[in-house]
Each structure stands twice: as structure tokens, then as C-alpha cells.
Structure 1
Amino acid sequence: MDPNSFSEPDLCICKHLHFNIEVLFEKKVLHGSLRLQAVNKSSNNNRLILDTNKLKILSVSDAKTGHHMQWEVQPMNSKSPFGSALVITLPSSSSRDGEAVDLEVLYETSPEASAVQWLAAEQTVGKTHPYLFTQCQAIHARSMFPCQDTPSVKTTYSAEVIVPGELTALMSAIPTGNHVVSGNDKSSRKVFTFEQKVPIPSYLVALAVGALESRQIGARSSVWSEKEVVDSAAYEFAHTEDMLNVAEGICGPYVWEKYDLLVLPPSFPYGGMENPCLTFVTPTVLAGDRSLVNVVAHELSHSWTGNLVTNHTWEHFWLNEGFTVFVERKIMGRMFDEKMRHFHCIGGWKALVNSVNDFKDAIHLTSLVPNLEGIDPDDAFSSVPYEKGSALLFYLECLVGDHDQFELYLRSYIETFKYKTVTTDQWKHHFLTYFHKQAEQGVFSEVDWDGWLFGHGLPPCKPAYNTAGVDACTDLCQKWIAASDEQLDSFSPEDIKDFNSHHLIEFLSLLLLEKPPVDIAKVKTMQCAYNLHSYKNAEIRFRWLRLCVKAGWEDVFSMAVTFVSEQGRMKFVRPLYRDLYAHEKSRALALSTFHSLKPLYHHITANMLEKDLDLRQ
């Protein structure tokens, strides 16, 4: 089963959850009850096991009779990321095979719950009201509520959430209403209700509470954020409905009813999170020119690959992310052109190379299907499942030789496994069954399946991407690498006059692959020629700062510190901290910066940075 969960869903499995919780900002806890409806799958089983992490369990009772039930939270290993098992003894009447179990757990989260980030008013854009948001992927849901915290279990859910009267609550579900109530202290409270009718795994349960406003951007979509950001976000994501229509043309009907976006505060650790009905997005994609909307294409694609069809355990994470990157780039190819699709694939390959290099001391985690026994899935997180998985699908599409036929296969895969979870073996069996004629003809005889799925490092081969879109970037990169000191004055703004932001990102990405790093004289000349300090696009800024830090340009160290203090997106802050830490001249700066900013970062970000900076005990 799942090596990252204590639960035993093969014996007793949850089917529906109902939350009745209050958000207590002053205590930094969620307090209330969770009603679980489950099915006992074995007549020999008399228990339900739930994952927890630092939860305060107050009581467990039969939801129908109110009778107290026996329960025990097993001792927690302080060094384990997996928390503790909550073992509930089922009444004898529930011990029959297929018998329904209906129970209620009264509980409270810890102020240190890893799934919940509490922001003081001064940490928000508006500076007036507090804010909270949750991030449950991969195994953090157990710190927010007792659950079978494994992607192999999907449940529907409903919720009643009580928040301060001036705030708004949103969840990864359809809002069904809200009303005002009075608290014991006469203060105003508001109750928001939600319903998610499509079964989802625990890591997709999400909650955000803050001073939020919305703007409608399409027939099925609105964008939410603080009022200071919401209009710029509405502009940035104006084409979401078009993207949704294109995605349906590739993957089939959208089953989630709404596709809203929530632009979170800067401490959000990811580019986006595919919470159903409400994608969470980092503000670092608000470039002002809609150049980074591929993040939305990615999260939207998860509506089919990840949310509708879900990896059975985190060891098969590539089935979520590799498929989603593949579909994301299909969408970009449809909305722009096939050259754009290849352009992003080439950039993705560079990200894969960087990830493989970063994992040189844990090379086993570069397998597409790694063994995660005893390993926190966060520690295995990298571009590998995204880019190696997408590259495998691109490679197979090329072998099939017919893009339209491969998209029909994609629809078949989604239709076959929708509302279910899937393993790599099941995927492979379905793929070879669907393309059985090609398999019989030997079309896939050259595929090194074990090398792709279980091999370490880069894949057995690189797909044949069309490089036409990146040739100008490659030529300019090579010109810089080959230039002698005497030739540096030959560079000028004319070199990049035809480059858009994607070209600049590609150009800088190519330079970052150079070993040894590009030297300081060239980096300083590059600034004089292109004024790269002036760019606000986060993807450009990130790569440019890395290039400068790697070159040892001390004047730029403070700019790197400013960047990691403005936002907490792991894609950006982790490599920059590693670069600063790698230099003797900036190592102390990296450590002091982290210690000062740690309280502002999300728990996941801070935890991973401690690993990067050798601060873990």
C-alpha cells in the first residue's frame, strides 16, 4: 500500500467527510468537528486508522447515537515526518463486510500545523486583516484534519466554516451559501458552506480565509485576491476561459463546474496548486504581460490529470505531474503554435538536467518511480516527475507518429481511470493495450522501459524536440561563451531586440548550464549591454540573479537577498539560497538571511531550506 500513510484503506475506507470548523486567528488553530462516513471492507476488521500530525483529538463518537468510541493516538517518532496513527475501535455492529461506519471526531489543529500558514495583517498586501491558507500536498493534510492521508483514497466532502465577519472563506469546493452569526463575545462571525461532489484525495482539501474580492473573468471562472491585487490578476488571467475550452478539446468534459483562481500572498511555496474548483496561484506569475500564464495552463490541466485521474501513491507522482506538463504544453501549442510547445519542452529538459545535478547525493530520487519507503515525499520533490515524465510521453507520441491519435489515447486514459487512482503498471498496461497494433508491429521495441521508469539520472534518450524556436537563444549563448575579454565590447542591446520574455528565459537558462559558471567580467558586461537588473519578470529575474551569484558578483548579493525576502516560492528561493551558500563570500549571508526570514516562509519552504543549508540535525 502507501509507504507514507498509516491508514489501511483496504480494510476500512472513508467515503465522505463533513467539516464543521471555526477559524481562530488569535490562537492560530482550526477548532471543530469532522464527520467521517466510511465502509468496513472486512468482517475480520474492527478498526479505522487515520493519519494525524500534532492534532489535538478531543473525542470520537458514533455520529448517529452520540456514544463515545474507543480511540488511541499512537506514540509519535519526533524525527518522523509521518505523524501518528489515530486508531479508532469500531462498534461490533460495524464489523460486517461492507457495513457503513459513521463517526465524528472533535479536534483542534496545532498552531504549528504544517498544512496551515497564518499571516498577520502586516504580512498581507492590505496590511489590515489577517490571512490563512492551507497547502496539504503531499502529506500535510494530516496536520489539518484526521484522514486517510494517501492519494489512493478519494472522498467527497462538505463543510461549514466559521470566520470573522469581515473576512471571506474559500475552499476547493463549490460555495453553497453564507450567513452571519453572533459569537459569545457579541462579535460578528460569518458561516460559509461548501460542497465537493467529485471524490478527491485528502491532499486536495484546501481552505483560504482573508479580506478577499473577486472579478469574473469567464463563464465558469473568477479570480480572487486582496483588493489591491485583484484587478491586475483579472487582467493577467483574462484568457482562462479560452484555455479551459482548449483543455476540454484535448482531455474531455470539465467535471468540476467552476474553475476559479486565488492569487495568494507571496509566501505561497509553489507556482500553483491545483485545488479543485479553486486553483491557488503565486503572485510571482503576475508579470503584467501574460507571459507566465503557462502556470495556469498547468494547474488547469490537473483538473483531468491528477485530480480526476490520480497517482495511487506518491511513488507514482509522475502520473500526476508528467501527464500534466504534457497536457499543459499541448494547450500552449493549440493556443499559440507547435513551435511554442517545443520551446517549453526544451526549457523543461534544462530543468531536468539541473534537478539531476542537484540530486547527485541522492541519485535514487531521480528515478521516475522512486522507492519512498521512510522518505518524506517533500524531500523527493523536484523537476524529475514533471520533466522526465513529460519527456517520456513526448517520446512515445513521436514513436506513435500521429499527434491526433495520441490525443485520442489521452482521452481513453482519462476516461478509463477517471474518479480512480492509477499505478505505473496500470498505465503501461493500458498504453500497450490501446496501441496493441503498433506494439505488435514492433513500434515500441526500442523503448527502454526499465531505464525510463526505474533508471537513475537522465532518461535513456532525449526526445527529438524542434529547436527552431531556440536557435537564436543558443547562438547568442555560444557567442558569449566563446567571447574573449577583448571581444566583450561587441555586445549591445541589438542582440536581444527581437527577444521576448521566453527567449530571455531560455538564453539565461542556457548560460546557467555552463561549467564552470560564466565569469564575472562577462556577467558585468551583460548588464551593461542588456540592463537585466531592470527586468521585473520573476522568471527572468531569478535566472539573472543566479547567474550573477554563481559568478561571484558581490554587488548583486543584496539583490538576491531582496528577491528571496519578497516571496517564498521554492522554485526561486531554494536554488538562490544554495548558490549563496556555495560561495564562501556569501555563505554567512545565506545563513543570516534564512534565520531572519524563516518565520515569514511557509513551513514546507523553511523545512526544505534547512536541508539545503545543512541546518537539519
Structure 2
Amino acid sequence: MSAVPQGEPELLANGDKKKYKFVQKIPIQSYLIAIAIGKLESRRIGPRSHVWSEKEFVEQAAFEFSQTEEMLQTAEDLNGPYVWGIYDILVLPPSFPYGGMENPCLTFATPTLLAGDKSLANVIAHEIAHSWTGNLVTNKNFEHFWLNEGFTVFAERKILGRMSGEPMRHFDALGGWKELQYTIDVMGQDNPLTNLVVDLSTVDPDDAFSKVPYEKGSTFLWYLEDLVGGALKFEPFLKSYYEHFKFQAIDSNQFRTYFLDYFKDENEKTNQIQWDAWFNTPGMPIYRPSFDESLAKVCQELKDKWIQWNESTPSPFKADDLKSFLAAQKEEFLALLMLEDPLSVKKLETMEAAYHLNDVNNCEIRYLWIRLGLKGKWTNAIPRAVQMVTEQGRMKYLRPLYRDLYAWEETRTTALKTFEANKPNMMKVAIQGLEHDLKLAK
């Protein structure tokens, strides 16, 4: 559970039950209390970490999350001491609707992270960051959810930058910017739920859940860091903020007051901040960071080559095109194509023949490739889309794929029938979102 185990399980007098004891000495919010029960095995992956899962996945999970201790140490260097004692990871069944859940001492993780090459393990950096941003300092309520998730995305990318270099931090943020743009396009530019601070007085927080507090919140912090003079000034502020508000639940005004007091000698800079515009204006952020796009350049070039290719000429593409690409660059290449007009079926078939993307295990790449096929009305993508929405329940993938299936008239019935067939295996929050997407909400 979300606490530290105490000793070995105690066999009870009747001999058919065991008693497990846990202690949590640090005050936590009620939503962070978690208990998991199942036929589980574990493997040690660091001096303060185990990974837990059903036996079929435990070795794969131990390999996938083997960098956990390095991430923890990097996070401590950035944020201050890790106060929770242990950091374990539990791989949940596929119906789990999120990438992860930051329960103290025991992160819940989706099995969609098990890519086989550690390429999706950055989600663990996100959950580790929550040990400060959300668990140590918590939003007062979910109208101020960005104080949890915006800070966490910002810290996660700081960890990524320290482990893999600043260009990778920028590259990841560039991808997040595109995800934010897609989210706001779907929700509507004027939708008040795309504000950084939202009014939930008449809205179920689950219905308001989106990428906005994650990416818009992270962008706001990036802006503030740039404004006050960069990381050398802003990172000490972050440590001070976590220390000042630890074990408390706060709102956005408390953050603003503390920020302005901390940087009281920088009035010329802080007076430029349009707090109301950041907090209460819908749509995209009013500031776009100056991203280092060096890792994106080859993705853009390959995308342009595909767009410009005249199909009446021989294909110039080969498997080596992607040989030097990181998994994240393959994602970016496909994400860039998603922003263009639909590819023809011939181009999609040629791409599959060259790159064999149908066989990729990385769920981010697989998901984008399916969406690209559906956008181009390639019937080959339909069974792969149905398979992906059936074998896992992560909303990040479910909702766009179901929207795409519903939007294509030829597959609308397939979307509705697949949803009804899969509904008994889904968690409530996923069902609610999909009923809205599929026009079934009452």
C-alpha cells in the first residue's frame, strides 16, 4: 500500500491468512491512500525500490524500470531530500486508465510502459517528481490541479534533461506543446476548462481532466524561469517552495504570493507577469518557449520528404531512414505527419513496407501509427485500432482512437460496438469520457 511495510507478514492462528503491517508517518491527502491486492511477485531494482507485478511481467518490468534509482537521485538533487523512505512500482492490469498514479511509496504504473527498450520509462520520472509536486505540496482542490501536474511535468523534464541532456528536455517539451494544441483543438479554444485555474463548481473533476493543467502549467513555469533569469535562479526557488509548503494543500494565489515575495528584488521583471491572463484565459498559453529543436530537425526533414514525394516516382524510402532515430524521434516524425493533410493509402502502404511500423511494441509509436492510418482512411488500420482499444484501457490512447473511429463514417458502428463489448472491462472514468466522445452521454 501507499506506506512502508513493517516486518514480515504474520501467519494468523487459523493458518490460512497472513497479516501485513504498514506505516505512513508523513501526512498525505486522502486521494493518495492506495491498497493493492493480487498474486504478485517482486524484484529489487535499487537500494530503496522494488517492482511488483504478476509473475508473467515481473522480469520485463524490472528491466524496464532499472533506472529508477538514478532518477530518484537526480530528483533529489533538483528538489531536495526524498522523505518517503521507499519508492516501489506496481504494474497494474491493462484496464488501468492512466500512465501512472503517484501513491506515496508505491507508484501504480500501466503495463503500456513495458516497451522492451526502456523508451517509455520517463513516466516513472514523472511519478517520482510527484514525491515533491503533489504529494509533499498538494493542490487545495482540483481547480488548482496545475499545482500538482504542471509542476510535475516541469520537474520530470528537468530530470530528463539532467540524465539525457538539455536538448532532450526541450524535445520532450516540444512534443508536449503539440499534445496541448491537439487537446485544446478538441475541447475548443474558448472552453473555460482550458483555463489554467478552472471553475469546477458545476463540473465533475473527472469530466474536466485533460492535458491542459499538465502542459499549460509546465509552460507557465518555463515562462517564469525564463523571466527571472534561468535555472540558476529558479531551481533554488523550487526547493524553497517545496520546503515552505511541505505537508500543506495550497491554491494558486498562495503560489503567486510566495513567488512574488521570493523574487521581491526582481520587481521590474515580475511586474510583467499577466497573472489573470495565465490563470483565467482559455486556449493556448500566451507564451511559447524558445525550444531547442535540434533533435526535431531530422524528424521534420523526413516528414517533409514523405509529404513531397510524388507517388508516380519510385519510392526513395528505406529502413535505414529510422535507424539512427530515438524512439521519441519516431514519435515526433509521426506526430508531425498527423498535423498534415491525410496521407494517401499508397504512401501509408509504402511506409509500412519500408519501416514495418505495424510490428512496433512501443505504445506511443503504435498509437500514432494507427491514428495516421485512420486519418488516411486506410482499412489496414481498423483491426489494429480495435485491438489496441481492446487490450488496454489507458485513456491517453483510448479516447483519441475511439474519436477517430467514430469520426470515420465507415468505422462508426465498429467504434460503438467495440465500446459496448469492452465496457465491462473498463474503469468508470474511462467509460465516462468515452460516452462523451461517442455521443452517448445523457
Same topology, TM > 0.5: yes
- 2:247 matched residue in structure 1: 419
Show CA shifts across 1:477-527 (max 9, x none): 12222333335722222322211211101111111122x433333222221
Write the letter of the residue equivalent to 2:429: I
Q: How big is the shift at 1:566? A: 1.1
The amino acid across from 2:19 in the alignment is: V
Rg comparison, structure with higher value: 1
Per the TM alignment, residue 233 of structure 1 is displaced from its structure 2 partner at its CA by 0.8
Deviations 1:450-480 (A, max 9, x none): 2221111101121111111111111211222
Specify which of 440, 444, 467 is matched with residue 293 of structure 2: 467
What is the match of residue 180 of structure 1?
11
The answer on whether the counterparts of 1:448 and 1:460 sit within 8 Å (CA) in structure 2 is: no
Q: Which residue of 2 aligns with 1:399?
A: 227
Corresponding residue for 1:593? Answer: 418
Q: 1:445 Cα deviation (Å)? A: 4.2
Whether the 8 Å contact between 2:189 and 2:282 is mirrored in structure 1 is no
Match for residue 179 of structure 2?
351
Q: What is residue 381 of structure 1 aligned with on the other side?
A: 209
The aligned counterpart of 2:406 is: 581
**Which residue number in structure 2 is paired with residue 127 of structure 1?**
none
**Maintained 8 Å contact 1:271/1:295:** yes
Q: Does 1:498 align with 2:330?
A: no
Match of 1:216 among 14, 20, 44: 44
Distance 2:396 2:230 in 1: 34
Structure 1 residues 494-533: aligned runs within 5 Å = 494-514=320-340, 516-533=341-358
Q: 1:557 aligns with which of 382, 398, 416?
A: 382
Distance 2:349 2:271 in 1: 50
Taking the aligned partners of 1:487 and 1:530, their CA distance within structure 2 comes to 19
CA contact (8 A) 1:264 1:283 kept: yes
Code of the aligned partner of 2:85:
E
CA distance in 2, matches of 1:282, 1:489: 38
Q: Distance in 1 between matches of 2:344 and 2:191?
A: 29
Give a deviation string over 1:341-389, Cα, whole Å, max 9, x none.
1010101101100110110287111100011112111111111100011
How far the C-alpha of 1:271 sits from its partner, in A, is: 0.5
Structure 2 distance, partners of 1:453, 1:481, is 38
**Structure showing greater relative contact order (alpha-carbon pairs closer than 8 Å, 6 or more residues apart):** 2
The number of residue pairs the alignment matches comes to 441
1:264 matched to which residue of 2? 92
- Which deviates further from its counterpart, 328-337 or 522-531? 522-531
Q: Which amino acid aligns with 2:197?
A: V
Deviations 1:165-190 (A, max 9, x none): xxxxxx1111224323367xxx8222
Identical pairs, percent: 52
Map 1:58-137 onto structure 2 (within 5 A). Answer: none
The more displaced of 202-211 and 191-200 is 191-200
1:235 aligns with 2:63: yes
Q: Which moved more, 1:471-480 or 1:201-210?
A: 471-480
Counterparts of 2:79 and 2:412, CA distance in 1: 47
Cα deviations across residues 222-245 of structure 1 (Å, max 9, x unaligned)?
Answer: 111111111111111111111101
Change (3 A) 1:592 1:191: same
Please say if 1:291 is aligned against 2:116: no
In 1, distance between residues paired with 2:44 and 2:63? 11
Query: TM-score normalized by structure 1?
Result: 0.70
Does the Cα contact within 8 Å between 1:560 and 1:576 map onto a contact in 2? yes
Q: 1-side partners of 2:208 and 2:334: how far apart?
A: 26
For the 8 Å contact 1:252–1:411, the answer to whether it is kept is yes
**Displacement, 1:248?**
0.5
SS in structure 2 opposite 1:224? strand
Task: Structure 1: state its 5+ residue gaps.
Answer: 1-170
Query: Contact (CA 8 Å) 2:100, 2:110: kept in 1 or not?
Result: yes
Secondary structure of 2:115's aligned partner: coil
After TM superposition, the structure 1 = structure 2 runs for residues 160-179 of structure 1, keeping only pairs within 5 Å, are 171-177=1-7, 178-179=9-10
Q: Using the alignment, how far apart are the partners of 1:289 and 1:351 within structure 2? A: 23
Which whole-Å CA distance do the structure 1 matches of 2:46 and 2:189 have between them? 47
Question: Which amino acid in 2 is paired with 1:509?
Answer: A
**Equivalent residues of 1:488, 1:525 under 8 A apart:** no
SS of match in other structure, 2:197: coil
TM-score, scaled relative to structure 2: 0.97
More helix by proportion, 1 or 2? 2
Q: CA RMSD in A?
A: 1.5
AA partner of residue 506 (structure 1)? E
Q: Quote the offset at 1:207 in angstroms.
A: 1.1
